[in-house]
Amino acid sequence: MKQATIAKSIFLLLLFPLLLVNSVLSVYREDDIIRETTRPFEFDYITWTLDALGLKAGQLSANVSQYLDPIQQKKVIFDYLSLVDKINTVSGKINQIYADPSIQDPLKKAAADLTEQKSLVAQMTQLGPLTESILQLQISYVLNQMGLATTGQPLPPLLYHVTPLPLALILSPRNVIEEKYDISLVPDVPLDKVVAIENSVAANTGLSALVVPVGGIGTYPTMVMSTTDLPWLLETICHEWTHNYLTVRPLGLNYETNSALRTMNETTANISGKEISAAVIRLFYPSLVPPPTLSPSTGNSSQGSSSTSGGFDFNAEMRITRVTVDQMLAAGQIDQAEQYMETRREFFWNNGYQIRKLNQAYFAFYGAYADIPGGEAGADPVGPAVTALRSESPTLKVFLTRISKMTDFSQLEQAIQQYK
């Protein structure tokens, strides 16, 4: 569930137009060098945001979701998920036909599937907006129950839109793991172009580069990837709403100040997203509530780990990798660290985790989502500190109120010491 810094800026521009003046004054030569490569592929947030706001205005004026009872709302949601699954299936068949070199006339072969795809997409055009309105209504109700609303309305109001998501070009210095740039690219950049962009930017700047997919972006309305997984969808919507909530508060306003504050933002959004979405599932979709995990004393609980009994533990192995890389970089062993990361990438690949590129940019991006200890965050104390603050807070509202006022990691450390 990724948070592009450009998206945050777009949201701020909608609220505070005067910030536009400041944004054009910050011109860096390194930025110009990077954008010589990326400019033809960069995502247009302004156009997307204006279009999405227009769609949302239409949804709000119709307001159909409020006239449906809970059973009807649930049916709409599951019909939508089924429709997404059908579109994915028929699209996969079409892609396979066009990729098969033995098929001489793929257009003729795929004619029936193309007709079905067109019909399904037309249905999605009708059902998608209603689905978004229902989930917005349900999540807003839960936010109100949690005390995260004013006169029944979350602030900012919860608005999201399912859309093809931009890719994120992440750039980190080679001598330290730290996200320096996050540049959004159009969703359909082919892999050969992705690799060429990474290689060109790395060669011209000396930075570590990686293009990654994202599941959501905190624009306003927020951007969310299409999926058939309702719990994941709800979690992503709530994660990105949390970013909107933080954006108008000190923690969110300082998202780009340093890596610790970025991790505080992303880990907070992860915790909040999971907690709010779980409450929505319990209230509106109880059949989807997962069974309770077994006690760790039974030896069967896998909570917080990607391993099975005696199996490969991705989280533990990735933590080892990150900690080792941090130590090597601190010792000035940049080339050795990069050789080590490639060796470990092959190790992960051989154990079923197909990581295309493992480098400093990889850890700079994924290490910020640190609500589960270890993994890509390694020994970074920020994520565990955020988690500790949540455990010491009686409610999610109290937690968000406390952490949203912070502008430095030291404030979080002090807060935790007070509890101790």
- The pTM of the full predicted model, rounded to 2 decimals, is 0.88
- pLDDT by position in tens, the chain (length 420): 545 455 555 555 555 443 444 444 444 589 899 999 999 999 999 999 999 999 888 877 767 777 889 999 999 999 999 999 999 999 999 999 998 989 999 999 999 999 999 999 999 999 999 999 999 999 999 999 999 998 888 989 999 999 999 999 999 999 999 999 999 999 999 999 999 999 999 999 999 999 999 999 999 999 999 999 999 999 999 999 999 999 999 999 999 999 999 999 999 999 999 999 999 999 999 999 988 865 544 433 333 445 544 589 999 999 999 999 999 999 999 999 999 999 999 999 999 999 999 999 999 999 999 998 889 999 999 999 999 999 999 999 999 999 999 999 999 999 998 876
Give the other-Cβ count within 10 Å of 296's Cβ: 11
Structure tokens at 135: 């989930």
Q: Where are the alpha helices (DSSP H) in 100-110?
A: 106-109
> Closest Cα to residue 8, out of 224, 232, 255?
255
Which residues are 211's β-sheet partners?
A: 169
Q: Who contacts 89 (Cβ-Cβ below 8 Å, separation ≥6)?
A: none
**C-alpha span between 385 and 60 (Å, rounded):** 39
Helices then strands, counting H and E runs in the chain, come out as 17, 8
**C-alpha span between 162 and 132 (Å, rounded):** 8
pLDDT value for 5 = 54
**C-alpha span between 222 and 216 (Å, rounded):** 7
Give the other-Cβ count within 10 Å of 61's Cβ: 7
Q: Who contacts 18 (Cβ-Cβ below 8 Å, separation ≥6)?
A: none
Core vs surface per residue 71-83: b (16+ CB within 10 A) or e:
eebbebbeebbeb
Q: Contact 249/405 with Cβ under 8 angstroms?
A: yes
**C-alpha span between 139 and 273 (Å, rounded):** 11
Give the other-Cβ count within 10 Å of 23's Cβ: 10
Structure tokens at 226: 């299409």
> 3-state class of 167 per DSSP?
strand
Antiparallel, parallel or unpaired: β 222-224 and 160-162: parallel
**How many residues are recorded in the chain?**
420
pLDDT value for 380 = 94
- Residue 79 phi/psi, 5-degree rounding, is -65, -40
Q: Who contacts 29 (Cβ-Cβ below 8 Å, separation ≥6)?
A: none
pLDDT value for 26 = 44
> 3-state class of 268 per DSSP?
helix
**C-alpha span between 398 and 298 (Å, rounded):** 34
Q: DSSP character for 293?
A: P
**C-alpha span between 220 and 160 (Å, rounded):** 7
Q: DSSP character for 377?
A: G
Domain ranges of the chain: 52-154
pLDDT value for 20 = 41
**C-alpha span between 70 and 383 (Å, rounded):** 37
> Closest Cα to residue 368, out of 242, 250, 267?
267
Q: DSSP character for 359?
A: S
**C-alpha span between 366 and 364 (Å, rounded):** 6
